[in-house]
Amino acid sequence: MPQLIQVSLIGADFFARHGYYPEEQILGNRFLVDIDAQFAPFANLGDDQINNTLNYEQLNLIAEEEMKHPRQLLETVAQNIADQIMQQFPYVLHLKVSVKKVNPPLKGMVAATAVTILINQDNKS
């Protein structure tokens, strides 16, 4: 079985103005982004070169850029992040992008809501 490497960005914290209701886009909220990207090694990791892996700083920059654009749906935010990752890193085989809205404006105590996009490129040609 071939080796896979997973690079993760966990709990990237952003203030953004995503939300279905106009008040959410005016007031904004706190969001957490988690990204797990798996790929087969394509170079010798023993060379200790950043170009031989997936740079998690780039994952953070992709998420940061997308969080700047207010969207009504978390699904749209997560999908746009996933699309950008797949465009910039076409060698990614499995991708999981989760966007969590912390303390959403719902009745009662809700810690967070979340949307997750999963991409599986196992059969990629």
What's the pLDDT tens digit per position in 32-58? 999 999 998 887 777 887 887 899 999
pLDDT band at 71 (very low <50, low <70, confident <90, very high): very high
Can you give the pTM of this predicted structure? 0.91
Domains identified in the chain, total number: 1
Report, as an integer, the average pLDDT of 3-24: 94
Query: Does 31 reside within a domain?
Result: yes
Residue 72, domain member (yes or no): yes
For the cut 80, the answer to whether the pLDDT of residue 94 exceeds it is yes
- As a whole number, mean pLDDT of residues 67-87 equals 97
| Cα torsion angle, 81, 53, 92, 9, sign | negative
Contact 114, 101 (CB under 8 A): yes
CA atoms within 13 A on the CB side of 40: 9
Query: What CATH number has the domain bearing residue 27?
Result: 3.30.1130.10
Residue 40 lies in a domain: yes
Does residue 113 fall inside a structural domain?
yes
The domain of 64 spans 5-120
Element housing 5 (H / E): strand 5-16
Predicted local distance difference test score (pLDDT) of residue 106: 86
Whether residue 125 lies inside any domain: the answer is no
| Residue 108 CB-density burial (10 A; 0-12 exposed, 13-18 middle, 19+ buried) | exposed
Return mean pLDDT, the chain. 92
Q: Angle, nearest 10°, between helix axes 56-67 and 74-88?
A: 140
